[in-house]
Structures are given as structure tokens and as C-alpha cells.
Copies of this chain bind each other. A is one copy, B any other.
């Protein structure tokens, strides 16, 4: 059956499609933190942030069904759902971030946010961190250096700032925040000098595509000051960082004590349903609306909005932010423990329910474990019923980013499997247990 599907898939889908794991799995059912394959085998999902409140959450399904049975249309008729959702998010975001535009994907949100920043500032240039990922539209694909081979020419309107990586980057120690922020200033100044100007600094405060970075705490506030001095806006790409992912706070930017000018939301917002948003201040929203128009056919439809409202309800009613903190502490402790017993672990990046386990061949030289071997480990974890992913510019970071309902028992099971898998690979010199 799976073999048959593989063949049909190869014929029907473009070869751009990729499958996870050496032996791809056919997933047919999901519930909470578990996924099940066609043979009924259970997998602990340590990867999928999109199913934010857990797979197939009954309250989300109920909201979806109820609204889809009643009405699904666009925002050019009045409807309370889109207003309710915008109001709820404005309260969650706080400050002046209270003017919303709903779209369908994080890519659409970032594309629109950059367009708003360009329109409002009159500048064209955008600063991003190297190896960031911000989406797949033509515009944000260009801004996502993670999508492009190293050395590929970057368009003149993009300024590239070094990611704030205190493990592997140029700077570490007390002044690292100042030094990395200075690189944002340098990249912005270069755009100003070349005449592009700085429309925005677009930043994901998990630095997901770098494998999660724990940036120096003062990095974003210093960088924000530089960007504002250059006449640009700060766009917080909360597609990864938002919705309690990093614990303690609802939004990643709060961890760094900044108030962005524009916020973009995506993946976890609809627990799998395609909804995303751009939220900014009334002043910026008004300035954009004066100069340009925007309409998104599906964006803000009542079904998507009722789903997004149900996700907010579940996070609040099930106190998932507290759960992230509780389970996050267990993962932190467990991963720290593993890093002491496995030489292969160079460092642990992460916070809350987003962790990156960086694998190196030698802790001194920090030489990355080759991708083929990381892939074998991640495939071995899959064989052990644990779903993770691969991340980072060197493809040497195991990505652990489960649904927000991931609890203590799940964390212990994941840590045990990781311990077993890393131990087995160390003993066998990098071959998969079953090979």
C-alpha cells in the first residue's frame, strides 16, 4: 500500500515535494500528541507545531464544523467572527498592535508586512538574518536565505546581518548582543548608503532555520533602536515564535523586551487550518491604506476565524502556556543531562517547547556531524516511534518542537529514545540500528 502510494505520488505530484525519513511513513490519524500510521503504529509527535493544540482537537473540529455548516464567505459582508478574532489578538499582543489584516499563510503575512513597511517608510531595503526562513512567496523566498545555496548572489535590496549565534558565530560573551546588533546597523546603513533605504528588519525571534538560537537578551532592543534610527520598521515574524511556543510569554518578541511595529502570525494559529495575520498599529495601517489597497478572498472568512478563536480558547482553558513552561523545564533538564553523557551533542539551543540538539563530531572543533548521519539518527528515532526533524545551516541539529499539549510523560519518552538513539549511533560509528 505504502509502496503503491509512493509510486502514485511520484507521478501525480511535482518533484519539488519531499518526504521525511529514510523510510517515509504513511500517517492516517492524529490525536493529541500522537500520530498513527496505516498499520496502526503510534508515533509520539515531537515535531509538529502547526497542530498547536494537539492533533484533531475536538473543540477545534467542532468550531470548524459548526461554522462551515452555517456560513463561509468573505469579509465584504459584516460578520462578527473576524472582529472577535482581531479584538482577542489585540488584547494578547498589547500596546498599539491593534489593527489586523487576515490572510491564509505565514508567507502571505510576511509578504504583506514587507509591502506595508515599504509603503509606509518609502524605503525599499529589508534587513534579515543570514539563513533565516520567512516563507515561500517570490518576495519572502528571496528574503529567506535558508532557501538558497551559500554564496548565491543576494539582491541589492536585501541586507544580511549575522544571526546572533553565541555557540558558532563571531561573537559570544557579555558584549555579544551589542556586537550582533551592530551588524544589523551595518547591514541597514549599507542599504541606506546604496539608496535602497531601510524599510524593515524582518526577524524571527526563534531563529528557527538556524536551529533555534538563544540570542543575547539585549540583541533585539539594540537592533530595534538602530533600525528605527535608519527610518525602518521592525517586523516580528511570530509564525514560529508566537502562540506560547517559547514559554513564559505568548510572543517571542516579549522575551527580548521589544515592541515591534508589525507582527505576523501563522502556523499554529488555526491548528492546521490555513489562517495567518498581519497586525500593526492603527497609524501604520492607516498610512498603508491611504497609499495602497489589499484584499484577500479567503482571509478572515468566518470558518477560519472561528477555528482561530477555538485555538485561543483551548490555549487559555487548558492553560497551555503553563504546560509549555512545565514540560519545557523537563526537556531543558533532560537535554542538558544528555549533553553531558553524549559527546556528539555540541550544544542545546532552545526554550519552552522548541529545542535544537546540535550534533558535532568533536566538541572542541565543533565540526558538524554530516547530514547523512543526522538523517540516519532522525530516521532511527522514527523507527523508535519518535518524530523529530533536522534543522540548521549545516543540517546537524535535531529539531524538537511538539504540539503545546506535550506533557511530562511525553518528554521523558522522547528523551529516553534520544538517549538510546545517540548511544546506539556512537557505538556503531554512525550506522542505523536496523541496517
Contact = CB atoms under 8 A, between A and B. Distances in A.
Given A26-B77, A107-B108, A272-B72, A12 B294 contact: no
Interface stretch (A14-22, A189-197, A371-379): A14-22
A303 B294 CA distance: 27
A13 B78 contact: no
Contacts of A298: 50, 104-105, 272-274
B297 A27 contact: no
A8 B100 CA distance: 12
Contacts of A74: 48, 50
Interface string A43-82: 0000010110001101011001100111111111111101
Contacts of A15: 99, 285-286, 289
A381 B2 CA distance: 55
Nearest to A90: B12
Interface residues of A, number: 94
Given A5-B80, A105-B105, A297-B105, A71 B27 contact: yes
A143 B55 CA distance: 39
Interface in A278-308: 278, 280, 285-286, 288-289, 292-298, 300-301, 303-304
Contacts of A29: 70-71
A83 B14 CA distance: 11
Given A77-B20, A78-B19, A139-B139, A100 B301 contact: no
A71 B55 contact: yes
Nearest to A71: B30
A158 to B, nearest CB: 14
B19 A77 contact: yes
B136 A137 contact: no
A28 interface: yes
A310 to B, nearest CB: 11
A87 interface: yes
Contacts of A80: 5
Contacts of A280: 14
A227 to B, nearest CB: 20
A27 to B, nearest CB: 4
Contacts of A301: 272, 274
A136 B285 contact: no
Nearest to A102: B13
20 contacts: A13-B75, A13-B83, A13-B86, A13-B100, A14-B101, A15-B286, A16-B294, A27-B77, A50-B73, A55-B73, A56-B68, A56-B69, A61-B68, A104-B108, A107-B296, A112-B136, A138-B139, A266-B297, A274-B274, A274-B301
Given A30-B70, A108-B108, 16 more contacts: A5-B83, A6-B78, A12-B86, A13-B83, A15-B99, A19-B77, A26-B77, A28-B71, A48-B73, A55-B71, A55-B72, A65-B68, A114-B138, A267-B297, A272-B303, A274-B301
Q: Which 5 A-B pairs have the closest CB atoms?
A: A12-B86, A72-B272, A14-B285, A15-B289, A26-B78
